[in-house]
Amino acid sequence: MNEPGGRTVTTDLQGTTYYQNANGQWINGTTGQPVDTTPESGPTGRVHDATGRTATTDINGTTFFWRPRPCPPTTAVSTPGISPNGQVGFNLGIYGIKTTGHVKSIETSALPPFPVTNEFDDTRDPLGVGVSIGYKFAPFANNIVVSPFVSFDYLNAAVNHTFPGGSFLGTTANVAGTAGLKIGPQFGEGVWVYGIAGASVLNETLKVNFIPVSSSTDATVPGGTVGAGVAWQPSFLKGFGLPVSLFAEYQHTWWQDAHFNTPAASPFFNYNFRREDDVVKFGFTVSLSAPPLAPAPTYPVKAPALK
């Protein structure tokens, strides 16, 4: 085998280690002296052949070759808090959403010089659900874990300003999608603390309902999302075959303004809806990565009798 320095290494049955240098010369790892590897029987009946194997000949003339002792199998760099049982790899998340939507509605005249005629600030906090797919890995040979992800959220989060008599104007966040990155340290007991950054897209419905006429239109706007979260793999969820983690996240998203000009319910005015959302997500993730197979054991091999 090759050690990290690039040299070939072998160990005989008695535990002596030999290194082969660049010009093919074998060196005794204990004494540092060159070794004559020409097959030659000694008083003990043992010889070292050119490959470094140990050969033993019994009194009947049968020769046995023993494979060198294997070095420990090469494994991926161990990362504190990340076990090899599927913690690293693809995962599926399912969660509930508590959205606090903030909307500033600005009404302006549709006639020059387009003065602002009204401004309203409103907040609502409905519930929603969502799913996500992520890939978790440790690229820096330490406990920093990175997870690219995409998520899809069903929000149904309406934020309206209501007037006396039941008329209203506002916006309803229908669905949102985010593609981003989670990054942070993972500790023992499966605890992961991370920051979140991503680009988002929102589909929303804009409404101006001035009784008896109601107008609405759909708009799709981009946004930027930042946040933080913590995940935990509790021991009572380790008996399901695949690792299961609980998590909680906070995210804040700024959305691009959405416009609804001269709606039929208010034909002499334009409306601008400026929305920001504070979102708390709470749920669980299931690892989709299977545990690695154990390496097969190795055994000494008897060589055929020499002729």
Residues 40 and 109 in one domain: no
171 and 98 together in one domain = yes
Answer yes or no: is pLDDT of 189 > 60.
yes
Predicted confidence at residue 14, as pLDDT, reads 65
pLDDT digits (tens, 9 = 90+) for 117-136: 999 999 999 999 999 999 99
Q: pLDDT averaged over the chain?
A: 81
Q: How far is CA 14 from CA 63, 66, 179, 186, 281, in A?
A: 17, 11, 58, 43, 61
Q: Please answer whether residues 157 and 171 qualify as being in contact, where contact means their C-beta atoms are separated by less than 8 angstroms.
A: no
154 and 205 share one domain:
yes
46 and 195 in one domain? no
Same domain? For 204 and 96 the reply is yes
- For residues 57 and 101, state if they share a domain: no
> Quick one: pLDDT at residue 292?
44
179 and 256 fall within a common domain: yes
SS3 88: coil
**Looking at residue 116, what is its pLDDT?**
97
For the domain that residue 150 is a member of, what is the CATH number?
A: 2.40.160
- Does residue 109 sit in the same domain as residue 29? no
Q: What's the pTM?
A: 0.67
Q: What is the pLDDT of residue 242?
A: 77
Whether the CB-CB separation of 63 and 56 falls below 8 Å is answered with yes
Domain shared by 99 and 204, yes or no: yes
Is 79 domain-assigned? no
Q: Which pairs count as long-range contacts for 230-233, CB under 8 Å and 24+ apart, including other chains?
A: 230/191, 230/192, 230/193, 230/194, 231/190, 231/191, 231/192, 231/194, 231/285, 232/189, 232/190, 232/191, 232/192, 233/87, 233/189, 233/190, 233/191
Q: Does the residue 81 lie in any domain?
A: no
Question: φ, ψ for residue 236 (rounded to 5)?
Answer: -75, -5
Question: Is residue 108 in some structural domain?
Answer: yes
Containing structural domain, residue 98 = 89-287
Neighbours of 275 (CB within 10 A): 24
- Pair (45, 143) in one structural domain: no
Q: How many domains would you assign to the chain?
A: 2
At 208-258, the pLDDT tens digits run 999 999 999 999 999 999 999 999 988 887 766 778 899 999 999 999 999
